[in-house]
Structure formats: structure tokens, C-alpha cells
Amino acid sequence: MVDGVTDTAAKEEVYQTMSNLEYASGNISAAKNYANKVLAINPNNGAAHLIIASSYAKSASSCTADGIDGASVYWAAVDRAVKAKTVDPSVTEQANKFIAVYSAYFVKGEQAFFQKLPCS
């Protein structure tokens, strides 16, 4: 796909486009992989960080081994959204929306306290 492309900005753009397309198609794993390729080129690409944040959040239903029905993925999603707006202020508005939505899924202290986690 990017074979022969030597311009890093062009590679970043191709990978970002692929990440967006895969995400829109519901191919979350592929979207995250392309976003990671973007970040390997430019770690300050906020849009790629937001794709990864969204990918984490969308995986909650398949990550239930955390003992709190997958809610722990929202912590990672919020962390990634915070990272996005920290490194790229142009995505601050979208990152803040993600943070607000994903934070609502955080478990309350008493919920987490009474769960028997898989490693305990």
C-alpha cells in the first residue's frame, strides 16, 4: 500500500485514511493497527490517538475478564483521549466529548471493591 512511498507525511496520511476507513467499516482491530502505524510516524497525531481510544471503548463487551464487565477499558480509552488533546490541541473538542462519554462508564469504587478479579 505504501511501498515505495518515501515521504513520511504522505505515509502518515495514507495510514490515517486507512485507519478512518477501517473504523467506519467496523474493523476495529485493523483501524487500531493503522492508527499505531500513524503514531510510529507522528506520535503527536491526535486523530490516531482518538481512533485508538474509540477502539478501546468498543472492545468493552469482549473484555469482561476484568471482573467489572469490561469497564476497565474505559479507563484506557479516557487516558488515550487525554493523550490526544495533550499532544494535538486541534482535537481537544472531540477528545473532551470522548472523555465525557467514556467517563460515564467508570465503575464506582464500591462496585470495583466487591468484585472478585480474575487474578485474585
> What does the alpha-carbon distance between residue 39 and residue 31 come to, in Å, rounded to a whole number?
12
Q: In the prediction, which pLDDT does 71 show?
A: 67
pLDDT in tens, 41-98: 999 999 999 999 999 888 755 555 544 455 678 888 999 999 999 999 999 999 999 9
Give the chain's largest Cα–Cα span.
55
> What does the alpha-carbon distance between residue 93 and residue 25 come to, in Å, rounded to a whole number?
24
Domain 8-113: CATH class, spelled out: mainly alpha
Q: In the prediction, which pLDDT does 73 show?
A: 80
pLDDT in tens, 63-74: 555 444 556 788
